Structures are given as C-alpha cells and as structure tokens.
Amino acid sequence: GDSVTQMEGPVTLSEEAFLTINCTYTATGYPSLFWYVQYPGEGLQLLLKATKADDKGSNKGFEATYRKETTSFHLEKGSVQVSDSAVYFCALRKANDYKLSFGAGTTVTVRA
Amino acid sequence: DAGVIQSPRHEVTEMGQEVTLRCKPISGHDYLFWYRQTMMRGLELLIYFNNNVPIDDSGMPEDRFSAKMPNASFSTLKIQPSEPRDSAVYFCASSLDGAIPREQYFGPGTRLTVT
C-alpha cells in the first residue's frame, strides 16, 4: 500500500541553521506530495505541495522538490527561526483519491 | 472565513461514558475528514464524507465509534462506550471538490482524555 517514511526526530537546531527533513514515499502512479506543519496546540496547516515530478513547492522559506527517480520529497530551509519550531508531516495523495497518507511526523525545535 | 471549527477543544471523561465530538467544516466544502492522532500510531484517517455521505469508514477502529453528517455544515464523531485507549487528539478537516490538489484544511483538534 501507499506509505510515507520520514526521518525520525526530534531535531534540535540553533537559529539560522540549515534544516533538512527527509521524506520518501511508496505509491503507484503519480501521487501529489505535501508538507504539513503543526504548531504547538494547533491543527495541521499546509506548508507546501507538489503535484508532479520535478515540481518545487515553496512557502515561508521552505522548499521541497518532487523527485520521482528517488521517490523523495525532502523539506529544506536555509535559515531557521525559533518560530519554525513545530512538527512537520510529509504526506501523499494518490491521483483521483481524497485520502492523505501521512508520515509519522518530525519534531523540530529551534533554539535562540 | 473562520476555518474548520471543532468543539470541545478538550474533553476529559471516565471510561464507559459516551463522548461526542463536533465539527463545522468550511462553508462550501463538500468533503469532511475525521482523523485521530496518537504518539504510537501517528495520524490515522478514521472516516470521510462527500456531500454528507460516508464514503470510506475503513479506518474506524471498532463499533464503539460512529460518525454522522446530518447536513453540510455539521458532523459528529461519537464514541460509546469510551475507553482509556481512545485518548488522543481528534482532528476534523474539510476540502473542496475540484480544487487541485484538493488541499485539506484542518481544525484545531479536540484533545480527548479517557480516565
């Protein structure tokens, strides 16, 4: 079945450090890929998305590129801030389906 | 728009009691999803509706769980009787058909504690 695997956390960084969270997926066909962020005490928010191979999603300084050859969608940010402390979820949705399959989530803590 | 609204935000109940969680989707959205989040199992899709009709309830853990959507602006998730292992954060999300790639908007969640 479809699945998403994320790097395990927690990840602790200093402000202005570079962040990478690895995400790989298993799915048939051409799924859409997403990164969601969950700030403490809140629901999930869509951070960025990509719908086809080589698409790059970007938002709030975060980027992720849909790599079909490596079935990956790694999240990156060049200079993190304390406000980026959150749990990050990678997810996929198959074409013509409405269900999202989520990874386990990666907790990121950024220290001042 | 106010976004997806869930109530209550926190619920503490004793084992064996009935629990009802409520969700108001974003106006005009025709898909509604219920998720459960736990440390052990992560985010799990329980059930989703399209135009108030349940489409896939394969994620509902057992008969103690039931969900309804009597109209386009309201859904409930009921647990009867509740058990300590039901303790989790329950999220509701809604989506608009036809929007590519059909982004789901999540509510703030209901944190359920069953003692």
- pLDDT tens across B27-68, in order? 999 999 999 999 888 899 999 999 999 999 999 988 999 999
**Subunit contact A43:B107, Cβ cutoff 8 A:** yes
Comparing alpha-carbon positions, the chain B residue that sits nearest to A37 is B106
Q: Collect the ranges in chain A with pLDDT lower than 50.
A: none
Report the pLDDT value the prediction gives residue B36, as an integer from 0 to 100: 96
Question: Do B56 and A99 make contact, defined as CB atoms within 8 angstroms?
Answer: yes
In order of A14, A61, A93, B3, the CA distances from A4 in angstroms are 27, 23, 10, 27
CB atoms under 10 Å from CB of A19, counted, come to 19
Residue A78 C-alpha, separation from nearest chain B C-alpha, in angstroms: 26
The residue of chain B with its CA nearest to that of A5 is: B42
Let me know: does B34 contact B88? Beta carbons within 8 Å: no
B102 inside 8 A of chain A by CB: yes
- pLDDT confidence of residue A44: 92
Give residue B100's pLDDT.
60
pLDDT at B101: 58
Tokens in use for B2? 């106010």
The pLDDT, as a whole number, for residue B52 is 95
Torsions phi, psi for B84 (to 5 deg): -55, -35
Find, in chain A, the residue whose alpha carbon is nearest to that of B30. Answer: A98
Average pLDDT, chain B: 93
Nearest alpha carbon to residue A21 among A68, A70, A67, A63: A63
Residue B98: partners with Cβ closer than 8 Å, 6 or more residues away: none
| 8 Å CB contact between B45 and B106 | no
- Please state, in angstroms and as integers, the Cα–Cα distance from residue A29 to each residue in A50, A68, A74, A110, following that order: 14, 10, 19, 36
Residue type, A106: T
Closest in A41, A49, A102 to B101, CB measured? A49
User: What pLDDT, on a 0 to 100 scale, did the predictor assign at position B4?
Assistant: 95
Q: Do B102 and A99 touch (CB under 8 A)?
A: no
Percent of chain B with pLDDT over 90: 84
**pLDDT of B99 higher than 60:** no
Task: Indicate yes or no: CB of B103 within 8 angstroms of CB of A102.
Answer: no
Its sign, for the CA torsion B80, B86, B90, B95, is negative
Asked if B42's CB is within 8 angstroms of A105's CB, the reply is yes
Contact state of A98 with B4 under an 8 Å Cβ cutoff: no
Residue of A nearest to B89 (CA): A43
Size of interface A-B (CB pairs under 8 A): 47
